[in-house]
Copies of this chain bind each other. A is one copy, B any other.
Amino acid sequence: MCEAHVFLVSDNKEDEIMENCVLIKPDGNKLLLVDLFGAQKFVEAKIKEVQLLDHKVVLEKSNEGNK
């Protein structure tokens, strides 16, 4: 299975905010995350990196995008 771990970078720390993520869908300055069990989460973030072989998605807060 190819679900991913989703991490949110904040203050140079990575916090895991979802395991088993199956869908990531940007919506304005937010992201919809959906896990294997259908649980949904909206985060004010944007995608920093999708590392498919590592099953890892790294997000950063939307307001840090213009640094």
Contacts and interface: CB of A to CB of B under 8 A. Distances in A.
Interface of A: 1-4, 21-26, 46-53, 55, 57
Contacts of A49: 23-26
The copy count of this chain in the complex is 2
A57 B53 contact: no
Contact of A53 (B22, B46, B51): B22
Shortest beta-carbon contacts, A-B, top 3: A2-B2, A24-B50, A22-B53
B26 A51 contact: no
Given A21-B52, A22-B53, 7 more contacts: A2-B55, A22-B51, A23-B51, A23-B52, A24-B47, A26-B48, A26-B49
